[in-house]
Amino acid sequence: MGVKVSRSDKKPAARPHVEPVAVQRRTSKGRAAAGQTIAVDKSSMRRTHGAESSRKVLGILAYFEAKRPVATIDQLAQAVDVPKSTAYRYVALLREMNFIADDGRGGYHLGPRILHMATAAEAAMDYIDIAYPIMERLCENTGETVLLLRRVGDSGVCISRVESSNPIRLFFEIGRAWPLHRGASSKVLLANMPPRERTAYLERIAEADPALKARLPKFVKELDAIRDSGISISKAEITPDIWAVAAPVFDAGKVVAAISLAGPAYRIPDASRQSFETLTSDAAQLISAALAQVRS
């Protein structure tokens, strides 16, 4: 599930090659200023096999830039190295999904859906920038790994993390998804979904999971309790012997993320768990308050 226990006393692996890349973003804590050089680890950019057609469709989207906002079908076909007939099919699909629009003069440009996606990406960066210092403080105060998750479809996706400095600690890969009905943070996101969406998700999942189907009424009550209390607990739901607590992050009155603290159960005795729950809830409230201040 993308979670593993790592020991810092192992011999460190050779550093992957990184290549400096110039980026341009608006300046804020945790982001690069315009023109600042950052290191990109190319070892993480592995080529996905069996996805050539999908790669070319995405290549068409990637062709558009501020300096070339409009492109003809010939330009797009040449950019992704396909015949014009194939490029027309790819463009037709992208137009159907509102990713690309026709300018009426034989050219194509990015469509309205891209604007919504750009807004969503910008919002996610705001969450990370605002949350990260608070996540660092929570990690320092508890000694355990802290995560920030957002809902993407039927999954909870890790968008930021602060790792514990303990020799034995959890490693959560940023970008990895977990089902919404497993894990403390994912359950926070599921518990706060609109009722109809939550019910539809549970019905779909229960049909494929007999064990969940058998305990569905009890699980629904657990989700209601999470929504009402603002605290979610999990024990070995994703990884054996791992205890975790999570709390919701609000933006404009809606739950937009969940902050979670997780660590080996043996290192978090019952006597410490209540204080960890309080600290995690406090961190979620601080992030929510900071988001409200930014929006005001």
Q: Is residue 141 part of a domain?
A: yes
Element at 177 (helix H, strand E)? strand 177-179
Instruction: Select from 87, 110, 133 the last residue of a domain.
Output: 110
Per residue of the chain (296 residues), what is the pLDDT tens digit? 444 444 444 333 333 333 333 333 333 333 333 333 333 333 334 567 778 899 999 999 999 998 899 999 999 999 999 999 999 999 999 999 989 999 989 999 998 888 767 766 766 677 899 999 999 999 999 999 999 999 988 889 898 999 998 877 677 778 778 899 999 999 999 999 999 999 999 999 999 899 999 999 999 999 999 999 999 999 999 888 999 999 999 999 999 999 999 999 999 999 899 999 999 999 999 999 999 998 77
Q: Are 102 and 95 in contact (CB under 8 A)?
A: yes
For residues 98 and 140, state if they share a domain: no
Residues 202 and 275 in one domain: yes
pLDDT of residue 178: 87
Instruction: Tell me if 44 is assigned to some domain.
Output: no
pLDDT at residue number 118:
72
Buried b (16+ CB within 10 A) or exposed e, 147-163: bbbbbeeeebbbbbbbb
Euclidean distance between CA atoms 249 and 229, whole angstroms: 13
- b/e for 213-224, b at 16 or more Cβ within 10 A? eeebeebeebbe
Task: Specify whether 104 is located in the same domain as 142.
Answer: no
Closest to 285 in 3D by CA, of 131, 150, 173: 131
pLDDT at 124: 67
What is the predicted pLDDT for the residue at 39?
35
Q: Which domain holds residue 63?
A: 52-110
Q: Residue 65 is part of a domain; what is its CATH number?
A: 1.10.10.10
Is 105 in the same domain as 126? no
Confidence at residue 152, expressed as pLDDT on a 0 to 100 scale: 84
Question: Are 190 and 129 part of one and the same domain?
Answer: yes
The DSSP code for 42 is G
Judgement on whether residues 268 and 142 belong to the same structural domain of the protein: yes
Residue of 119, 66, 78, 73 whose CA lies nearest to 94: 73
pLDDT given for residue 224 in this prediction: 98
For residue 203, what pLDDT is reported? 94
Please tell me whether residues 146 and 255 are part of one structural domain: yes
